[in-house]
Every structure is written in C-alpha cells, then in structure tokens.
Amino acid sequence: MVRAAALLLGLALTTALATPAVAPEDVATAAYRAGRYDTAQTLWHDELRAAQASPERARLAYNIGNAAYRQGHVQEAVGWYTAALRLTPRDPDVWANLELARTESGLEPADRGDLAATTKRLVAALTLAEAEWLVIGLMLVLAACLGGEALRGGKLWSRLALGALLLVALALAPLAWNSVHAGGQPMMVISKRAVPARTEPRPDAKRITELAPGLELERLDALPGWVKVAAPGGLELWVRDAAVFDLSIE
Amino acid sequence: MSSIRVSIMRLIAPALLASLAAATQAQSRPKVSALLSSGVVKFGATAQLNVEVEGARSARILAVPEVDGLKISPPGRPSSSQFVQIINGRQFRRSTLSWSLSVRPTRTGDFTIPPLRVAADGREYTTTELVLTVVKDMRGERLGYFEIVDPPTRIYEGQPFTIDLRMGWDLELPISRANLFLPWWGQLPGTLKLSQGPRNPAGNWLELTVNRRTKVQVQELAPITRAGREFAVLRLRRRYLASRPGTLELPASTFEFAQRGGQRDIFGNSNLERYYVDLPGIRIDVRPVPEAGRPLEWTGAVGALEASRRIDRRDVDVGDSIKLTVSWTGDGNLEFFDPPEPARLDAFAGFRVLGTEDEYRGEERRVTYDLVPVSPELTEIPPLPLWTFDPVLEAYRKIETEPVPIRVRALEGSEGLDDEEDRGGLALDIRDVKTRPAGPPLRRPGARWVAMALLGVPALWLLARILVRRRGDPAAPVERRRRAARRRLARDLKRSANAGEQTRALVRFLSARTRDPDQAWLGRSHAEWREGDEGRAVLDKEAAHEMDALRADLDESSYAGTDAAVDSGRILRTADRLLRGGL
C-alpha cells in the first residue's frame, strides 16, 4: 500500500516536472482569445508590474488597452495606448488603435494632420535612447566633415560641415523633447464628460473649472481618491482619481 | 370838463396797457389740448386720441399713459398746420402741431385716460383727463358670430394642438369687408407653429386681414342656421406645438365685418357701417411629459398615433434590398420625434440597414428603411415598435407595425452574408494584441557621451585647424597642386607620346611636390639636392640614384634622336618611391 502510494506520488511528480510551464503571456493571450478580457487584463497588469524593458512595457500597455477596449472602456483604452506610445512612439499598431479609440470617444485625433501636429509627431518620433544615438552619430559625421575642412580646407568641406551641423541641430530637437518630457507624472483625463476640478480634495469644495476629456496634465500630489494636477492657466486643482489616467508607466 | 376827461384817461390808460400786455402774453403761450374722436366706442372698434399744441415752434409728447383695458399706440411724428389771418391790415399767424393716437380697447367698461404730459417750447404742459366708454356691439353680436371650436384647455409638452376659429355674419347683410384682431397672432411664446399641410383646393378660400397687417387665407364653409337666420361661415385653423410646460394665454380677439351704409360723402362713396364680435380669451395649461413609466426607447413622440407599413417586394435573394415604408399618422407631433432604428433592435439582427429616407407629408410621417436580409432563414420582417406618449390615455404606449412575411432565397454556393461578413468584415476595429515579447531596449549612450560629442568635436576641429594652419593654408593653390601632383603625373604620362613629354611631366611632378618652379629641376642632380639651410638631403641615396638613372634614360632617348618614350610604369614606380621617401 505504501509502495503504491509512493509510486503514485513519484509518477505525479514526474508528470508535473515533465509538463512545460505555461508562460503567463500565453495564459493572458488565451484568455483574451476566449473573450475573458478582464482576466487577460489582470494578467497583463501583473506582467507590466514586473517588466523592466520599455518595449515590453509598451507591448503590455497596448495589450491592456485592447482588453479595456473590448470591455467597452474606450476612454481607458485611450489612456493605455497613449502611455504605450510614449515608450514606442512609432508603433503603427498603437497609433491605429489610439486614433480609433479616440474617434469612438469623441476626442479629436491625436494626429490632426495639420502642420503643428505633424511637427510634434516628427519631434516625438524617437525615444530618448534613439535621440541620443542619433545625435552622437551625426556628431561623428560632423567630425569627419570638420576634419576634412581643417586638413584640406576648401568650399566643399566647409559646405559638408555646414550640412552636418544642420543635421545635428535638427537631431537635437527630439533629444530636447525627450529631455523635457522625461520624468514627471503625466496624467490624462479619461472621463466621458468634462471633469470638475476643485480647490480642495472634497466633493463639496468649489469647482473652479472643468477639464476636458483627453486633456494631458502633470500630477502634483495625490490623496486617497483624489489627484492634484497642474490645470491649464497655472492652477493647481484636485480631481477624482478615477477620472484621470496615469501615463507614466515607464 | 377837459380836466375830468384827462383824469379818466389817466385812470383807464394803465388798465388798458395791462390788459393788452396780458393778452399778448396769453397769445404767445402755447395751448395744449387732447380730445377723443368719440366718448363711446364699440368693443373691437378703435377710437382716436387727438393731441394738439397750438402756438409752439416745437413740441413732443413726453409719455403716453398706460390704462388697463386700453391699448394706446405710441406717438409718431406730429403733423403741422399753419393758419394765417389778416384783419384790418394786421396779420395773425397761428401754427398747430397735432398727433393722432389710436386707442383700442381690450375689454368693455368705462376708462379714464389720465392727462398726457407734453413738452412745448421747453416747458411742460398737461392735457385734461378724458373718459372713454367701451360697450358691447349688441348689433354685431346679433348679426355675426365669432367662436373657437373645441379649444384645448390642457395639453402636454410636445403635443400639437389646433386653434380652430369660426366666424361669420348674417347672409342677408351685404358685407363688403371683414377683419380679424388677434392679439396673440404670431406672439405665442412657448409654442412652435406647425405647417398646415396641403390646402384643400376644392374648398372656397377667402382672404382676410389679421391685425390690419397680415393677410391670411380662410376657408368658406357651408352656411349654418342660428335662431332662424342663415349665417356665412369662415374657418381659420392654425396648428401649434407646445414646446415647454407652463400656461399659454390667448387674449380676447375681435371679428370685424362691415357693410356699406346708405349715406354718401361728397365724393359719392358710401360710408362703412362696422360691426364687431368679440371672442373671450382662453388659457391652455401645458404639462410636462411624465417621467414615471417613461420607457428607455421613447424618442419624443407625443400623441395618439397609428402605424402602418408596406414593402416593395416579398420574395428576395440574400443580399437583395427590401424597402420597408412605415407611415405614422394621427394627432401627434409627427415631424418632431426620432423614428426607431431597426439596426438597434434585436428583432432586426438578421437584416442589414443600408439607409433610411425620412419625410413629413402634412399629416403623415413616412420613413423608408432600406433593409438587406443576410440569412435565408428569415421568414418575416418583424414588427417595428415606436413608443409614444398618449395625452388622452396619459400613458406611454407602444405602436407596432404588422409583421410582413417574406421569403429569402440563399445564393447559389453561399450560406448567407453572415459568413462572408465573418470572413471579411468592413467595420473598423482595433488591431490585434501583440503576443511576441518585445526585443531588448536600445541602450542609452547617456548624457555624458552626448555632451562629450557636442563639445569635443568642435574643440578637436579648432585644434586641428590651428595646427594645420601653422604650416600654411591647406586650401592655397600651391598646396592643392602638391596634393594633386601624383594624379596629374599619371594623367600626363598617359597623354605623353615621347620621352620629351614624359620628362616635362616628371619635372612638373617634382616641382609641384617640392613647391619649386619647374626650371629648378632642369639639370638638377637628385643625389646632391639639398633642402633648407641645414642642407638636409631630400631624397635617400637609392631613390636619388634611381631618379638620376631615369632622368638619364629619358635624356638619352630625347637627345639620341629616337625620342622614344620609356615605360610609364617605371616613372610612376619611381615617383611613388620618392613619395614614400618623403618628397
């Protein structure tokens, strides 16, 4: 009897050890495919907490956005896609889903297509690492051109050096953009309607203004249930934390 | 006697002078008066209030008094008249400014019009108080009638209602003119005027004037008999929709009709004999549509409506279009509710709605739905519901069309459009989740490396430039010629056809590399060539001997008479050796 039990236990252990461990990612994807979007969202959330690399965090944020979208939380999906875009700014899938979700939320497109929006998209198209490498690479090109100008002189080398200098100046724009927007805690209003902003974190505090859906703000402080944000016009106001989305997932 | 006369004259003269002065003063002071055209008027008729200012250069009425029951028109510009009289050679001039204000009573009774304040030549004057009596036109009441048919007293917000006015006169009267005075005409706040729909061309239509401004078409109906007398009947209908809760007030209205009298004026025109019939005002209570029991599907329909439907075809293939036309009729706000959307109804899940066509035709709201069956299993077009609030029942009611049996045939080799939709799909949707883990992130070089690059490259450039420029300008022609000497030698040797040209090419090469003129290398011994004050040998011994041997061969070939070219490769190899040797 004891021998039989030991045999069964050993067989079970062998089977357990022989079965390959299922990755959480596979489980989350399977749940998503089966229509259990809340389960998939929870699993991807757990993975996001553990993930370190930016591309992987962006991928998980994108997947969580998809799960939120499928559950009808389109505003929340907009927040996740926007957060993913901050990490992988040129990802066409994220852009496509973001624009679709924004359209369904009644928000204007993230890229309106006008000159200002196109310029912003170009400047923000690189991550900080990419922008730094680009600047260093172009500085090497500039160094070669300046070396030629120093050793040989002449108009050709001067013009080449000038062109390289111009490219470096252009490459500094993404670097400056990323440097300015690095750090901090950007938030986004994801409520369906305009969110009342109050002077104090109390429901009966005076409403100073209303924050439009889709508006991006800087988080200054937080209390249970409330977030203090830098509202337009230099105001520091409190809003309900359920109405804003934390974009800083890096 | 004469002394007595003188005394009397002395007494009378000051009195005469005083009375003359008073008369002159009285004559120069403006005279203001007000007068009614008649002290008694029939209800519905208008009295004229004439205000006159005599002997003033300028005048204006400061304020028109407000009298309850009377509507007095505001004063316009005064009319001016002048009267000149000559008596015993003396000229008397009198000027008059006058206004005529119309006074319309809104009810019967005795009214006192308080004094009017008039400013004339900078001073303020008041007129006397006036009394006006307004009486019912008993004769008009007997010879005509004016009534409203079934006036609504209580309606709901959004419910249409009709003001149906009937008026007429004794057919024995030769009536030549008729007018309506409706104070509420065009001024019913909280209502929307609805269209009347197409006019019945078969009826007899007359034109009446409302409020002496607007001409309206009224329908002439068949005469009616009242108290043994036959009366003409005119009908004026207007449809309104109550747009907000509250109370609608329609003040008293008046119907005026006139016949030509027997008296004629100096032009031969007979006077008009006017009669007036008044209609008491009415109040309509507008109540809000109740929230209790309001279904979520209610789209604003109010009224007792009926629905009917028809389709253009019943036997179709999958994917064919069926036009379902639904008509809503009845007493309701037909043009103001949103028609139901089949695409949002579960019962219509087997249909694709391609579009709708919505039109309002007076007393009918007609919506045509373009439906496409996507499955051959469909057997009918299901009932299309519309929720409406019925003001009579005071409850919400669902009106449904009758279902329509149809037959949907499957396309050959197809199982319906549902499968096709699943395979293809034309709707916009999000892109799929990313299942593959993302690659490693790009490592940042760091701000230190970026700063070093930004600062170091310009610094190195400046340093290199300063060092290089110490030996001269690298862009100067002589330096550029020196750098290009090897390339030019090869090019010149290719073009050289004899030893003389090869010698010249070699001399150009040597002069460019040494920055000496060409003549300096004619006859120079390479082995003994020294450079600078120290007398350092430029070429090493072997290179110099090789060069001397080459020059000797070239000279021999040139001066021996054959002038045959030597091997260009040998010259280039020798030149390269010189360059490697530091030339």
- Residue B170's domain is classified under what CATH number? 2.60.40
Q: Indicate whether A154 and A220 sit together in one domain.
A: no
Longest CA–CA span in chain B (Å) reads 183
Q: Indicate whether A75 and A46 sit together in one domain.
A: yes
Whether the CB-CB separation of B368 and B325 falls below 8 Å is answered with yes
pLDDT at A1: 43
Q: Is the residue at A150 inside a domain?
A: yes
Q: Which residue of A has its CA nearest to B447?
A: A132
pLDDT at B28: 63
Q: Indicate whether A30 and A79 sit together in one domain.
A: yes
Between the CA of residue B261 and those of B39, B136, B175, B568, what are the distances in Å? 22, 20, 10, 140
pLDDT at B38: 83
Q: Which residue of A has its CA nearest to B454?
A: A139
In the predicted model, residues of chain B with pLDDT beneath 70 are 1-28, 196-202, 262-270, 411-426, 527-528, 530-538, 561
Are B460 and A143 in contact (CB < 8 Å)?
Answer: yes
Nearest-Cα distance to chain A for B355, in Å, is 21
What are A103-150's pLDDT values in tens digits? 988 888 888 889 999 999 999 999 999 999 999 999 999 999 999 999
B193 token code pair: 């005027």
Residues in a beta bridge with B61:
B118
pLDDT at B23: 47
Alpha carbon distance B31, B59 (integer Å): 11
Whether the CB-CB separation of B155 and B192 falls below 8 Å is answered with no
pLDDT at B92: 75
Nearest-Cα distance to chain B for A143, in Å, is 6
Sign of the alpha-carbon torsion through B137, B143, B148, B153: positive
DSSP classification of residue A194: P
Q: pTM here? A: 0.45
Q: Which residues of A touch B (CB under 8 A)?
A: 25, 29, 32, 53-56, 58-59, 62-63, 66-67, 69, 77, 93, 96-97, 100-101, 127-130, 132-133, 135-136, 139-140, 142-143, 146-147, 149-154, 175
Alpha carbon distance B242, B155 (integer Å): 8
pLDDT at A14: 47
% of chain B at pLDDT higher than 70: 87
Instruction: State the count of interchain CB pairs (< 8 A) between A and B.
Output: 98
Structural domains counted in chain A = 3
Would you list the DSSP string of B459-523? HHHHHHHHHHHHT--TTSHHHHHHHTHHHHHHHHHHH--SHHHHHHHHHHHHHHHHT--GGGGSS
B561 token code pair: 């008479």
A19 has pLDDT over 50: no
Q: Indicate whether A30 and A77 sit together in one domain.
A: yes
Q: Indicate whether A60 and A102 sit together in one domain.
A: yes
pLDDT at B254: 87
Alpha carbon distance B197, A76 (integer Å): 50
Q: Is the residue at B435 inside a domain?
A: no
φ/ψ (deg, to 5) at B226: -135, 130
What are B203-256's pLDDT values in tens digits? 788 888 888 788 888 888 889 998 888 999 999 988 888 888 888 888 888 898
Domain that holds residue A133: 128-181
Q: Is the residue at A119 inside a domain?
A: no
Q: Is the residue at B294 inside a domain?
A: no
Q: Indicate whether B378 and B486 sit together in one domain.
A: no
Contacts of A239 (CB under 8 A, 6+ apart): A189, A195, A196, A197, A198, A211, A226, A227, A229
pLDDT at B24: 47
Q: Indicate whether A135 and A198 sit together in one domain.
A: no
Reported as a pLDDT band with limits 50, 70 and 90, residue A15 is: very low
| Residue found under tokens 């000559």 | B86
pLDDT at A93: 95
What are A52-68's pLDDT values in tens digits? 888 999 999 999 999 99
Q: Which of residues 409-428 of B touch A (CB under 8 A)?
A: 428
Element (H, E) at B553: helix B541-559
Mutate to test the interface with A, among B432, B433, B450, B462 (most CBs of A within 10 A): B433
Nearest-Cα distance to chain A for B526, in Å, is 29
Last residue of a domain, one of A84, A114, A144: A114
Alpha carbon distance A68, B117 (integer Å): 77
Domain that holds residue B509: 477-580
Alpha carbon distance B271, B258 (integer Å): 10
